[in-house]
Amino acid sequence: MAEIVYMPKLSDTMTEGVVAAWNKNVGDEVKEGEILAEIETDKATMEFESFYDGVLLHIGVEIGKAAPVNSVLAIIGEKGEDVTEILKNAESPSDDEPKEIEESPVAEPETKNPIPAESKQQENTPTPSVSVSNDRVFASPLAKKLASEKGIDLNSIQGSGENGRIIKRDIDHYIPFTPIQKQHSSLTPVGTESFTDEPVSQMRKTIAKRLADSKFSAPHFYLTLDIDMDNAVASRKAINAQDGVRVSFNDMVIKAVAFALRQNPNVNSAWMGDFIRRNQHVHIGVAVAVEDGLLVPVIKFADTKGLMQISAEVREFAQKAKEKKLQPSDWEGNTFTISNLGMFGIESFTAIVNPPDSCILAVGGINEVAVVKNGNLQPGHVMKVTLSCDHRVVDGATGAAFLQSFKKALENPFSMLL
């Protein structure tokens, strides 16, 4: 008997999927465990295996098309089996959703004196800023007198009075064009207007929905702090001097955040509607830019890991993200998020809280600037960070205490390595 294959739910936030590729054609034999299709979710493109043996009798979603979760993706059965009745009776949870009511066209109210089409067209025509009728320029008597005395052509003035009327103020503020300006003002701009419409990817749809929900439902506030990075720069240089070791500043930021979260557990929390969840574990999401948008793989139990292990995981996640090979387990469970744009030369920015977290840390670049130390002006390295907080969970003093712990960890790197 034929079996219906439904569009799978491949991530916790997935509501629909796009078929990126079919590995089988109608009529091909399919074995259980074989890759049937590649499905683009809101976060990655994933291979989808068949659960059945048989022949692919029907493809319900074409390549590049989107379909809601639990809609008919395909039908697998015996060769020659008729699927017409199966498709007719196929049901999915999406069928239970209320359908949009088709609105009836609303008749326009009749008017006693309808405006002729020609009059409507004239009504919609933009009114010129200088009102002219029968080659007569509308201007106040005083404006005409002043223009005559100064030798100003009223046709070259844009009136600021009612209905474009030229008044004294326009004459007083008039600046005549130079010959070059006159020449260029009469030139018609040369160019072609063009644009390209691109379909919104599943990832971009999810980013838009989740961050819009966060921005408009979570009351954000922001705390910004400068951090002296001289010791961090020196420590990283010493660490990377060892053979085969490569640690980035971002790795040090992750370690410092994990250190600060242990000291400030209330920041490691989430708003759950009618209760606040205080997380005892530290899972740090690290925002990674990819072609279609943004992914946030998670360094789990980051507070228990050393710099080398954090560095290795971040590099692996970045590579998998670019190749669209991240799995749901890679991006689920974050309790805090870091967004670092320092490598792009960004000095500072604010980020939107990544649900279900209550905070996200925006990290800017490290700049070499003049700083005052012990009363003396000298060169130094400064990094600016901004903590975005959900005020329902984290108050200003709580966020500030976290930033102080984070600052202390980065300004004394060996304290978080002990």
Show which residues are catalytic: 391
- CA 118/CA 262 separation, integer angstroms: 74
- Torsion over CA: 402, 407, 408, 414 (sign): positive
- Beta-sheet strand order (sheet of 35-40): 45-49, 35-40, 16-22, 66-68
Q: How far is CA 303 from CA 252, 280, 281, 335, 408, in A?
A: 12, 11, 8, 12, 16
Cis ω for the linkage preceding 356 (within 30 of 0): yes
Rounded Cα–Cα distance for residues 322 and 344 (Å): 18
Read out DSSP for 191-260?
A: --------PPPHHHHHHHHHHHHHHHHS-EEEEEEEEE-HHHHHHHHHHHTSTT----HHHHHHHHHHHH
Residue type, 183: Q
Q: Tell me which DSSP letter residue 283 carries.
A: -
**Crossing angle (nearest 10°) for helices 249-263 and 396-411:** 130
- Angle, helices 249-263/230-240, rounded to nearest 10 degrees: 120
DSSP-based three-state secondary structure for 272:
coil
Question: Which pairs count as long-range contacts for 273-276, CB under 8 Å and 24+ apart, including other chains?
Answer: 276/393
- Separation of alpha carbons 141 and 90, rounded Å: 81
Tokens found for residue 80:
């020659």
